[in-house]
Structure 1
Amino acid sequence: MTATKVSGLLLTAIINIFLEIVCFALYSIFRKQPSNANIYLAARIQREKGSRHGSRSFAIDNYLPSSDWLKEAWKLSEDEIMKTAGLDSLVFIRIYMFCFRFFGACTIVGVFVLVPVNYLYEQIFDIDTITSATLDKFTVSNVTDGSERLWVHFGFLYAISFLAYILLYLEYKHIARRRVDYLHSAQPEPGQFTILVRAIPKSSQQTYSQQVDDFFCNYYPDTYLLQRSVYADTKWQKSLEEIQRVSREVQFLSLLPAKERTPQRNGLLGLSGRKEDPLNYYLSHLEELKNKFKKFQAKFVEVKQEIPAAFVSFRTRWGAAVAAQTRQTPKPSEWVTELAPEPGDVNWRSLSIWFSVLWVIRIVVGIIFVCITILYFVPAGLAYTLGTLENLKTLFPFATQILSIPVVGTLVNGYLPSLLLAILYLAVPSLMLFLTEFEGYPSISEQEIQTCGKVFLFLVTNSFFLVAYGSVLNLLDQVIESPRQIPSLLASAVTSQVNFFMNFVMTKGWTGYAIEILQPKVFFLGFFWRRVLRKRQYGPYAESLPYYKALPNLLLFIFIGFIYVIIAPLMLPFLMIYFFVGYIVFRNQILNRYEPTYETGGRYWPHIHNRIVFSVFMMQIIGIGMFGVKHKPLLSTLSVPLLPLTLLFHHYCSLRFRPVFEEMSMQVAVSKDMDEEKKGLREQIYRKLRMAYLYPALQPVDYNDQRDSSSHAPLLSGQQ
């Protein structure tokens, strides 16, 4: 790929900024329309129990862009985020805060110190000279081999490494303190009193439920409360989801005056049949769904098949904590226990997979993941290759004249490869989530956490290593011949792809946030539903924040930032724009669009911390290789101590903070148990626990209708 000039990069940036501004302007208009409130204000409406937003009368302000949503999102405090969306959402926002602090400091030093050091060597500081220069002039590539100026880069590597340690430590400490406060102040949740038991041994005399009851009555006689069996059939899920969807429609329709309920036809696709009040229509439809589900329940009770798993509830948190952290028998592969996920977080389909075969399934899934990652090298490499100006001229000779236009050639050469790769990766998160579903994780949150890891590894491998090396086989040959050359190979490859990753940040990063806030897929589906099918959606359907999509993308750009912070500091301003826009966009989405379906209490953070530390480690390896490529072996040797220092830092943080995220301390558990005992709240908690983990196919259908929309209602409603 030909070298990109600074003027070409600025042109690409201007186009992306223009698209971003247009999308934000459209969003500010669309969200004011009452017909779009269920899309853009879904979570807020759901929390406010049907409050209407947006004026129904004509007003010119409703069709003009405004910045009100920006101000509202910016003013949102940490405590408000906690109250509105929980600790998991706050952890996600705190990642952006870390990026502001770390990359903000790096940007100031990088732009005002490293860029001049890289550029000002027999160069004239003239604006015309700068805009016509290639980007390589501003990277470490422009520094002469063996130059003493590399000492500046060496000092910067050490400085930002220690800055990363300090900020990561403070962030871990802050989030750990938030989690402790959350555990102290949280209302009683079913998962605090319940454990999940798997790998129950088979018995010819007793059913699994009888075995569980006998086992815990025998070994935990003072704290054992009850057990709930798990069954193999999960066909009930779609039926229950439909009942809950229609119930929400009924709920919101009942809040509207009759004159605002648009009559609709009750025939095929709303195109035929007689018109009737939608409330009556949905009430009759709900009753029909309930009757069908009750018939299914009757058949289910007759043929239900228990599986070797159960939820066991205890009278105290202390009893649950002891049982969850204790090996129950001398055989570690039997009676495996862990704290149960909250009812809204339970992955019922995964529980039907027998525990004894999970390790085999996970090995198979790991092999499939590796194969998919390698197979993606082919279309990704093809997209990257086809995106070059020279190859397009070869493939489409009739377009040579158009491609020869400087502006067109610059955009195609810089923008097209990153655009093709961004499109190619759209399906990756859903594909990885589908793979992870087979691994049998008992909670939706754990499934998403594991999916985040797969997607991040996939994106790093494909977006970074594939593009950096061009040929995996060529890389392997060089590594096999001389493993010591790995840092130098990394540094050489990374330096040669600065142009691509700058455009990648703008294309996938900036444009990705524009798509996130505009929600074009949901918008056009809603438009089709209203205008073509002539139906109206009365109830908002707030989604949960898709961590398995959002987190890996954010961590990928953090990884890119660490890789290029020394080699190409000119990339840092583009990343800062990415972090700033993402910070505003997701604060707005958390406030208005996303409603959590589960709460882990910040358990995402240790996994995020691990991947950021990995990025720091890779930055140091590439720094060592960079000094080797530049024939400064002394600086390479002096940089090596950073690697064990990073590993020691990671180990210390894991020992110091990670246990806080894995289990509740006995001190907190006992103190909360004693407090509830004094207040006489135990019996109320026990009554709620009897229904909390009852298998959904056996629950009274009216009970499902009354569930809290967040799916993690506390055991004591209104209790602080």
Structure 2
Amino acid sequence: MDSYIQMLADSDQDNPGLPPGQLGKYQGPWFSTQLTLSLTVGVASFLVFCWLRRYERFKVLYKPRTLLKGFSPHEVHDHESFFGWILPTLKTSEFVVLQLVGLDAAVLLSFLRTGFHFFLTCSVLAFAVLVPINYRDHGTSEGVPPPMNGTSSFLPSAISSTAPLVVSTFKPHLKHGSTIYLFSHLAFTYIFTILALVFLNRNWKRYIPLRQLFSLELAQSIPARTVMVTSLPPHLRSERSLAEYFENIRLGEVDSSNRDRDARDSGCLAVESVVVTRAIGSMRELLERRTSALATLEKAWTKYLGNPVPVEGKKAVSGYDREAEVETILRGPAEATDAGGEGEEQTGSDPSRNGRLIDVDDDEQEQPEDLEAQLLSRVKSVISTPGRKRPTLRPHCFAKKVDALDYYAEQFRKADEAVRKRRKGKFRPTGVAFVTFQTIASAQVAAQVVHYPSATEFHTELAPEPRDIHWFNLNLSASSVFIRQVLVILTLLVLLSVWSVPVAALATLLSWETIQDVAPRLADLLGRSPRLRGFVQTTLPSLAMVAFNNVLPMFLEALSIFRGLPARSWIELSQLKKYHISLLFTTLFVFITTSTYTLLRDISESPAKVLDKLATTLPDSRNFFVSYVMLAGLAIMPLQLLELATVIPRLFYQMFLTSTPRDHAELNAPTSLNLGVVYPQALLIWTIGLTYSIITPLILPFATLYFGLAYLTYKYRFLFVFYRPYESRGQAWPLAYNRVALGLLIFQVFMLGFFTVRKAFLLVVLMVPLLASTVYTIWRLYRTYVPLSRFVNLSQACEVANGTGADDIVKLRKGHPVTRSQTHLNRGRYGHKGEGVYAVAKNPHTDYSQPPLSEMYPGVLNTGGPARYGHPALFGALPEPWLPALAEPKETGAEVPQAVKDALLVVDLRRGWRNLKRAAKQGIVLGGENEGESSEGGRRRPRATSWGSMPSEEDPSRAWRGSESSAAPRPRREDLLSDEEDDLDEEDDLDEEDEHGNIPSRYSSFFPHRPGHNIHFPPTPGNASETEDEG
């Protein structure tokens, strides 16, 4: 078999010479060299991965998703043997992936599976029919004749190598079998086109049910019922006026006798809540200052005590109470002492009364003889750090030295007070709002209609998920967005121009004449070693191209962010567009057109014949692209299983930049897949494989292997590695479809030029109907399916809202058994309880007492995002000091004495009683809502309120609440849940309802009743509700 493949690849090795300006046929065993390299890298990476994933210490690298809070394993996660994970991963259906991971993962896997089946079918047909015809016609497997008379051109020998207009003077000398040979190429152009359209249509039919059913299953979630409104007119920039607008929409005539009935009976768009975003002004700077002060404080404590804090040995720290130290930092020494316990002796000279660490020598350290007394004397005991002094610093150049920990704590308290005081102020409303309706049907209607007579005002669309919003771009003006778009286009053109320079330099390695002119000594060396020549002219350019292509996304992502898109998923889709066109331009066109100087000269002399020139040059690059696809599939794809893009930076951060418990917790957080990088690479392989499918059928098996290995690799990474905190509703597939269609048209245009060069005018004429019908079919499919890819059909949306349309959801679960607990990570993204999802891998350097910092906005915790689209700068949970925890003592096997257990119980009771007295003193009900706040401006909120909760008066969901009838209908649990999961706790419900009550919102725009019939519609500046002034 190997000899047969070698014959197919290197059928013209005996050609010794190359004509001037022609891209030569590779010399030497280039195919075997590239295949050996790719298989070595791929097999080694695969085996190393299978070995590493079995060990617990590498679980945080290769199974981080399984360490997330709330993870419940599926049967696919139960296989730990060396190769035992492969078949279960492959057998896991995309419907299971849909429920376990999400829609974006299922859509990507469906696309990769479509590519695998398409190229597998093409490979079978090509090697069964096309390759024998090619071999019968000119003795090779390729779709072009072998070089003749020392040339590498695929054109017959009658073509003069010196004629500038070679196509116009060409007179074919066709030998026996040429008619069958050319018509077979035309036939397979039709066959491959029809197959591509059939597989694309089939993928659309799989995608639409996934998209619809996934949305219907989450119909009661807040993101599914929310619409984002942009460019609001000034008179509608308040929660009340905007809610009145939607609730007074009447789609039909209303009898005058019934005009006094409740608006809910006559309106169709019942609103549940409205949040008009605010211009935060200086809040971002204040949060950044607070976060910087917090990080400095935590690093200082970690440097002083170590992480974890030693409890044994010569450097052991005794008496350290982290909670007391955090309390002291947050409240200050005086307040912490008052809250620490009443009736305790106050001694001004005793520094240990606040639990402060002091310096003692080893010989001065006293150990209490009674262990029980030691446990009970936390406040009065001296906390010692043997051999270490508390750090000091000079705040200014000529200032006296002060205690560094106290200084950093004071700086943090000032920054914290500034943030909390500014949060209590008023903020100017902007032109962006989020309206949550009672039903998904109302949201779908509101998002698809034109609401205002002005084309530049009042635009609506389905809202991104709260975690998906890029808050920095949300309130940009229309003029700012336009200027940014122009700058991005200009920058992209400059970037592609600069990027084409190294690509052109790599392309010259494929031209033997260029190597001889530029580096004659290198040419002599390569001429003496066929394998080295094959490596330099084949493997080296493909490796360099892969490296260049992997660096490009970083620049494109920055451009997409700068463009001003308000959602992170939209930024990924914008990056997908830019990255694909960049790959297509640099890899397929620039690499080919710059490979020979003669081609550029001929195109400059006769631009009208650019198609013919490319048709003559594309076949000469076929071996490079076979090498490129081979490397991408056999080497790069298995290499991705090792997660080197994560492991290498992680090692660097762990060695040099990670010290505090927060750093270690964030280091263990799982990565998220960027769809804007994955799709373009697969689309490039699709385009290259299809374009060269007839000229070089050998590329088809390697394209098949690429999509097959990509399917296995990404399915494993979705199930075990990635955690995607938001969904794009599967919007990557319509973009991928358009680019696959573009690749199909490139393939047909290339074949049209190929037939033109061959002077087969009948075949050229027969290609025209194929081009026209392909364009029409592509347009027809897009027009048919895209509406259902963007929106949920109103029929099923109304049925689900009424609790009678869950049959399709039940069918979705049949045959794909997934319990409710196993879908917690997927469904949890749509809950609004303020819970964070973060890794809990065992790590002695962190105890995960807090979630990591959020990625969607700096300075707040990753607690799932504001439930009702409140701005994180105003409503996000603020991080508290995270000091090092005590190290776990080494196990001695001795039983804990009963006296120690009793002492620990007493300590816990004392702490609980102290917290209860403090809460009663400050007017706090533990476990409930705050009844009052301190009258001191800027004072920190009582710590009885956890970081995961939010005071009711600051909940953005209170911005608009109506009567009891405004509550969204709850889904029928018997339809949406399996029988064995019906008894789960109510805390897992997606639609956790708030308590009803007329509590004023922080925006002072609460509207306690439904609008009456006297409200004018639509609202005008004269009768709109007042908006707040900028504070």
Query: What TM-score do you get using the length of structure 2 for normalisation?
Result: 0.58
Measured after TM superposition, the shift of residue 338 of structure 1 is 1.0
Q: How does 1:598-637 map to 2 (within 5 A)?
A: 598-637=726-765
2:68 alignment partner, SS class: helix
Q: Which moved more, 1:481-490 or 1:502-511?
A: 481-490
Q: 1:431-464: per-residue Cα shift (whole Å, max 9, x none)?
A: 1121111333232212211210110011001100
Q: Which moved more, 1:508-517 or 1:365-374?
A: 508-517
Alignment partner of 1:34 out of 53, 56, 64:
56
Q: How does 1:216-231 map to 2 (within 5 A)?
A: 216=246, 219=249, 222=264, 223-231=270-278
Q: Is 2:574 the partner of 1:450?
A: yes
Alignment partner of 1:639 out of 767, 774, 787:
767
Measured after TM superposition, the shift of residue 242 of structure 1 is 13
Matching residue of 1:317: 440
Measured after TM superposition, the shift of residue 486 of structure 1 is 4.6
% identity of equivalent residues: 22
Q: How does 1:210-359 map to 2 (within 5 A)?
A: 212-213=242-243, 215-216=245-246, 219=249, 222=264, 223-233=270-280, 273-277=305-309, 295-302=418-425, 304-359=427-482
Query: Kindly tell me: are residues 704 and 391 of structure 1, through their superposed partners in 2, closer, same or farther at Cα, counting changes over 3 Å?
Result: farther
* Contact 2:629-2:706 at 8 Å conserved across structures: yes
Query: Kindly tell me: are residues 333 and 531 of structure 1, through their superposed partners in 2, closer, same or farther at Cα, counting changes over 3 Å?
Result: closer
Q: Is 2:82 the partner of 1:66?
A: yes
Alignment partner of 2:92 out of 76, 95, 117:
76
Q: Is 2:121 the partner of 1:105?
A: yes
2:672 alignment partner, SS class: coil
2:671 alignment partner, SS class: coil
Query: Kindly tell me: are residues 169 and 412 of structure 1, through their superposed partners in 2, closer, same or farther at Cα, counting changes over 3 Å?
Result: same
Matching residue of 1:54: none
Query: Kindly tell me: are residues 20 and 623 of structure 1, through their superposed partners in 2, closer, same or farther at Cα, counting changes over 3 Å?
Result: same
Matching residue of 2:551: 427
Measured after TM superposition, the shift of residue 699 of structure 1 is 1.5
Q: How does 1:187-226 map to 2 (within 5 A)?
A: 187-202=219-234, 212-213=242-243, 215-216=245-246, 219=249, 222=264, 223-226=270-273
Q: 1:16-56: per-residue Cα shift (whole Å, max 9, x none)?
A: 111111111221222233332112111122165499xxxxx
The one-letter code matched in structure 1 to 2:136 is: L
Q: Which moved more, 1:360-369 or 1:267-276?
A: 267-276
* Contact 2:612-2:757 at 8 Å conserved across structures: yes
Measured after TM superposition, the shift of residue 170 of structure 1 is 1.2
The one-letter code matched in structure 1 to 2:125 is: V
* Contact 1:73-1:588 at 8 Å conserved across structures: yes
Q: Which moved more, 1:113-122 or 1:577-586?
A: 113-122
The one-letter code matched in structure 1 to 2:30 is: G
* Contact 1:107-1:569 at 8 Å conserved across structures: yes
* Contact 2:116-2:705 at 8 Å conserved across structures: no
* Contact 1:16-1:507 at 8 Å conserved across structures: yes
* Contact 2:42-2:639 at 8 Å conserved across structures: no
Q: Is 2:571 the partner of 1:464?
A: no
Q: Is 2:698 the partner of 1:522?
A: no
Matching residue of 2:710: 582
Matching residue of 1:695: 871
Matching residue of 1:556: 684
Query: Kindly tell me: are residues 442 and 29 of structure 1, through their superposed partners in 2, closer, same or farther at Cα, counting changes over 3 Å?
Result: same
* Contact 1:145-1:631 at 8 Å conserved across structures: no
The one-letter code matched in structure 2 to 1:18 is: T
Matching residue of 1:150: 182
1: CA distance, partners of 2:556 / 2:494: 12
* Contact 2:226-2:434 at 8 Å conserved across structures: yes
Measured after TM superposition, the shift of residue 201 of structure 1 is 2.7
Q: How does 1:636-715 map to 2 (within 5 A)?
A: 636-675=764-803, 691-699=867-875, 701=877, 706=948
Q: Which moved more, 1:2-11 or 1:167-176?
A: 2-11
The one-letter code matched in structure 2 to 1:324 is: A
Q: Which moved more, 1:298-307 or 1:698-707?
A: 698-707
Q: 1:217-261: per-residue Cα shift (whole Å, max 9, x none)?
A: 6548641333212234488789999999xx9xxxxxxxxxxxxxx
Matching residue of 2:134: 118
Matching residue of 1:258: none
2: CA distance, partners of 1:82 / 1:516: 22
2:305 alignment partner, SS class: coil
Query: Kindly tell me: are residues 476 and 346 of structure 1, through their superposed partners in 2, closer, same or farther at Cα, counting changes over 3 Å?
Result: farther
How many residue pairs were aligned?
670
Alignment partner of 1:43 out of 42, 52, 65:
65
The one-letter code matched in structure 1 to 2:459 is: V
Matching residue of 1:368: 491
Query: Kindly tell me: are residues 120 and 236 of structure 1, through their superposed partners in 2, closer, same or farther at Cα, counting changes over 3 Å?
Result: farther
Larger radius of gyration, structure 1 or 2? 2
1:569 alignment partner, SS class: coil
2: CA distance, partners of 1:412 / 1:550: 28
Measured after TM superposition, the shift of residue 669 of structure 1 is 2.3
Matching residue of 2:827: none
Measured after TM superposition, the shift of residue 11 of structure 1 is 1.9
Q: Which moved more, 1:82-91 or 1:598-607?
A: 598-607
* Contact 2:35-2:630 at 8 Å conserved across structures: yes
Query: Kindly tell me: are residues 122 and 439 of structure 1, through their superposed partners in 2, closer, same or farther at Cα, counting changes over 3 Å?
Result: closer
The one-letter code matched in structure 2 to 1:602 is: G
Query: Kindly tell me: are residues 35 and 337 of structure 1, through their superposed partners in 2, closer, same or farther at Cα, counting changes over 3 Å?
Result: same
Gaps of 5+ in 1: 52-60, 248-264, 679-683, 708-713
Q: Is 2:41 the partner of 1:19?
A: yes
Matching residue of 2:109: 93
Matching residue of 2:404: none
Query: Kindly tell me: are residues 7 and 552 of structure 1, through their superposed partners in 2, closer, same or farther at Cα, counting changes over 3 Å?
Result: same
2: CA distance, partners of 1:283 / 1:627: 82
Q: 1:522-554: per-residue Cα shift (whole Å, max 9, x none)?
A: 223333455667868467412221111111000
Measured after TM superposition, the shift of residue 351 of structure 1 is 0.8
2: CA distance, partners of 1:455 / 1:353: 25
Q: 1:608-661: per-residue Cα shift (whole Å, max 9, x none)?
A: 111111111111111111111111110011111111111111122123211101
2: CA distance, partners of 1:66 / 1:193: 45
Q: 1:359-392: per-residue Cα shift (whole Å, max 9, x none)?
A: 3432332232223222321222123325766656
Query: Kindly tell me: are residues 374 and 396 of structure 1, through their superposed partners in 2, closer, same or farther at Cα, counting changes over 3 Å?
Result: closer
Query: Kindly tell me: are residues 241 and 554 of structure 1, through their superposed partners in 2, closer, same or farther at Cα, counting changes over 3 Å?
Result: farther
Alignment partner of 2:210 out of 178, 185, 194:
178
1:308 alignment partner, SS class: strand
| Backbone CA RMSD of aligned residues | 4.3
The one-letter code matched in structure 2 to 1:226 is: S
1: CA distance, partners of 2:499 / 2:244: 52
1:425 alignment partner, SS class: helix
* Contact 1:384-1:418 at 8 Å conserved across structures: no
2:432 alignment partner, SS class: strand
The one-letter code matched in structure 1 to 2:221 is: E
Gaps of 5+ in 2: 1-22, 74-78, 159-171, 251-262, 265-269, 311-319, 331-408, 807-829, 835-864, 879-944, 950-969, 972-985, 991-1031
Q: Which moved more, 1:627-636 or 1:33-42?
A: 33-42
* Contact 1:198-1:336 at 8 Å conserved across structures: yes
Measured after TM superposition, the shift of residue 414 of structure 1 is 0.7
2:60 alignment partner, SS class: helix
* Contact 2:670-2:721 at 8 Å conserved across structures: yes
Q: 1:181-238: per-residue Cα shift (whole Å, max 9, x none)?
A: 22333352222221111112346xx865565456446548641333212234488789
Q: Which has the higher helix share?
A: 1
2: CA distance, partners of 1:280 / 1:114: 78
Measured after TM superposition, the shift of residue 398 of structure 1 is 6.5
1:597 alignment partner, SS class: coil
